Chain A
Amino acid sequence: MKRKTVVAVALAAALSAGTTVALAHSGASGVVKERMNSMKSLGDAMKELTAIMRGQQDYSAERVRTLAGTVDSHGGEAMAKLFPEGSLDHPSEALPTIWTDWDRFSALAVQLSDYAAALALAADNERPAGHGSGGMMGQGQGTMQGQGMAMGAMMGGGMMGTGQGPTPEMLAQMPPDAAFMHIADTCSACHQDFRKKTN
């Protein structure tokens, strides 16, 4: 009787251990979960940064640096390694174009970290008047609106994508809002091409 119990417990333990190992090594579903958690952390950081940049939350350079650090840590190689080829298991929102256009995808991941590092460096820089409520772009990019933009506006192919616009080094010298906008653009560029349409 006692022996049977011991065997049963041992069997159950062995089974559950086996199951745990199997789960941990089940590949795709594990990595999909992991990267969805990573994206969730990114989203949370971006949500708070958005509130700060919009003036809905008091500006704190310290807090901006912390959040920028979070974004930085989830970009670059940390992000790229969460996208092993073909990992599209439900409920992944990733598109297979990630692997046909891997260079662009991984460059955007690196760019995310670079801009986040720039934001951390820029956190103490002076901010333009009228930030928040979208006003900051209105202030910061006056030349792109209406008067005085001339052909620049027709010719400028946008500020997104790799290799365009200010470098992270330049952004580090500019108001933090500029680096933040570049982070937002990077999210957008990547989601436009590599994420299923969800909104």
Chain B
Amino acid sequence: MGRTVLIICAAATLVCGGAVAWLTLGPTVPDRNLAGLQGDVNRGAYVARLTGCIACHTNSKNGGGVLTGGPEIPTEFGSFYAPNITPHPDDGIGAWTLADFSRALTAGIGPDGGHYFPAFPYAFYTALSDQDIVDLWAAVRSVPAVAGGPPEHGLQFPFGWHRGVGIWKRLYLEAGRPEPRPDRSPGWNRGRYLAEAAAHCGACHTPRTLLGGRDLSRKYQGGIGPGEDKIPAITPEALEREGWTADDLRYAFRTGLTPSGDSLGGSMAEVIRDGTRYWSDADIASLVEYLMDPERGE
């Protein structure tokens, strides 16, 4: 009798322990095969404007050097600080390989095998193209190596538990690139890539669940952004309701100005200032085409 209970307990412990280990491991994200691809520094600098690397990893307001680490990102889970990603060997990512860089972006896993918190939007970057990753790497390697960096993340219990991120990933990380839609225009497909992968619009514009995953049943319906900013809905219906035309949106991405002469505030001001303002006309037009498509269907 006593032995049976012991065996059952032991088995239960093993199963539960195994479940925790499996859960916290997170999903398997295959490494990209980047062999033979040549990185282009100039293109990579442009990709960095598409992906928002500079906005998050640079404390421009306090005169911080490019990619030397960002200002506080206050969230309901605590404070995040995008780290120093200059090529400094100790304080930056100077000791990384391209494979490390690619795994960080597409799987949210560091060179030590640990999970990154999803404030780093790898749930979007997982869909970056191989060439964009290689170009980004070239660009990131080209900036001056700078020592130092922002403070460690300051997270509230229990969100500071790194391995718990594996469970988050099992729930919310859908790895890899979606297939292009042949029934849509090249501009639409490019816009989808920009919105869904590079520029990660949904990181703020899609509301999140209690566990901090995107609630895809309410995609682009607005939410709470950094610093508890209210983030507006950007569904085609919401944009139309607010009176935005495609031309208005293209102009706003370039200038930050709304048709009423007001300026977009909060974190969007930063997105425009450090990001969309530098986009090509074609990329802005593609993004707007995708966002405003009432038949977007995803």
| A156-195 interface bits toward B, Cβ cutoff 8 Å, 1 = contact, 0 = none | 0111110000000000000000000100110111011101
A43, A48, A157, A181: residue with the most chain B Cβ atoms closer than 10 Å: A157
Question: Within 8 Å of chain B (Cβ to Cβ): is A10?
Answer: no
Stretch at the interface among B43-51, B106-114, B185-193: B43-51
Set A46, A158, A188: member contacting B261, Cβ < 8 A: A46
Task: Name A154's closest neighbour in chain B (CB-CB).
Answer: B45
Q: Is the CB of A188 within 8 A of B265?
A: yes
Q: Is residue A137 contacting chain B, with contact meaning CB distance below 8 A? A: yes
CB atoms of A150 and B254 under 8 A apart = no
The residue that A197 contacts in the complex, of B58, B139, B251, B265, with Cβ under 8 A, is B265
B43's nearest neighbour on chain A, judged by CB, is A146
Report A-chain residues with C-beta under 8 Å of the C-beta of B257.
46, 50, 184, 187
Contact status of A153 and B255, CB under 8 A, knowing A188-B264, A191-B269: no
How many A-B residue contacts, CB cutoff 8 Å? 127
Q: Which of B266-291 contact A (CB under 8 A)?
A: 266, 268-270, 272-274, 277-281, 284
Let me know if B278 and A145 touch, CB within 8 A. yes
Residue numbers in A under 8 Å from B230 (CB-CB)? 197
Contacts of A81 in B (CB 8 A): none
Query: Is A149 positioned at the interface, with any CB of B under 8 Å from its CB?
Result: yes
Shortest C-beta distance, B136 to chain A (Å), equals 10
Say whether, besides A151-B45, A153-B46, A188 and B263 are in contact (CB < 8 Å): yes
Closest A residue to B254 by beta carbon equals: A134
Shortest Cβ distance from B85 into chain A, in angstroms?
11
Query: Which among B54, B250, B261 is the interface contact of A47 at CB below 8 angstroms?
Result: B261
**B28 at the binding interface (Cβ < 8 Å):** no
Q: Which residues of B contact A157 (CB under 8 A)?
A: 58, 60, 63, 66
Name the interface residues of B209-260: CB closer than 8 Å to any CB of A.
Answer: 229-230, 232, 247, 250-251, 253-260
Docked-complex contact B278 and A153, CB < 8 angstroms = yes
Pairwise interchain contact A151-B261, C-beta atoms closer than 8 A: no
Establish whether residues A137 and B255, one from each chain, have CB atoms under 8 Å apart when the complex forms: yes
A110 to B266 CA separation, bound complex (whole angstroms): 21
For the complex formed, measure the closest distance between the CB of B22 and the CB atoms of chain A, giving whole angstroms.
Answer: 40
- CB proximity of A182 to chain B, nearest CB, Å: 11
Question: How far apart are the CA atoms of A13 and B251 in the complex, in Å?
Answer: 55
Query: Is B97 close to A, CB under 8 A?
Result: no
Evaluate contact between A198 and B261: CB separation under 8 angstroms: no
- Cβ–Cβ < 8 Å partners of A195 in chain B: 265
Type the 1/0 row for A23-45, where 1 means its CB is closer than 8 Å to any CB of B: 00000000000000000000111
Residues of chain B lying within 8 A (CB to CB) of residue A189: 269
> Which residues on A sit within 8 Å (CB–CB) of B45?
149-154
A191 contacts B254, CB within 8 Å? no
Check if B156 is an interface residue, CB within 8 A of chain A. Answer: no
Q: State which of A47, A54, A146, A154 has its C-beta within 8 Å of the C-beta of B260.
A: A47
Nearest chain A CB to B229's CB is how many angstroms away? 4
> Is the beta-carbon distance between A135 and B261 smaller than 8 angstroms?
no
- Of A50, A54, A134, A141, chain B has the most CB atoms within 10 Å of the CB of A134
Contact status A192-B265, CB under 8 Å: yes
Residues B273 and A160 in contact, CB atoms below 8 Å apart: yes
Contact A150 B41 (CB under 8 A): yes
**A91 contacts the other chain (CB 8 A):** no
From 26 to 82 in chain B, residues with beta carbon under 8 angstroms from any chain A beta carbon are: 41-43, 45-46, 48-49, 54, 58, 60-61, 63, 66-67
Q: Which of A44, A145, A199: most chain B CB closer than 10 A?
A: A199
From B272, B278, B281, give the contact of A144 (CB < 8 A). Answer: B278
Instruction: Please pick, from B60, B232, B261, B263, the residue contacting A191 in the complex, using a CB distance under 8 A.
Output: B263
Chain A to chain B contacts (Cβ below 8 Å), 19 pairs: A45-B261, A46-B262, A49-B261, A54-B251, A133-B247, A135-B281, A138-B280, A145-B279, A146-B46, A149-B45, A150-B45, A153-B42, A153-B278, A161-B60, A187-B256, A187-B262, A188-B264, A191-B265, A198-B265
Given A134-B281, A192-B270, A199-B268, 5 other A-B residues pairs in contact with their CB atoms under 8 A: A44-B261, A133-B247, A153-B42, A160-B273, A187-B256
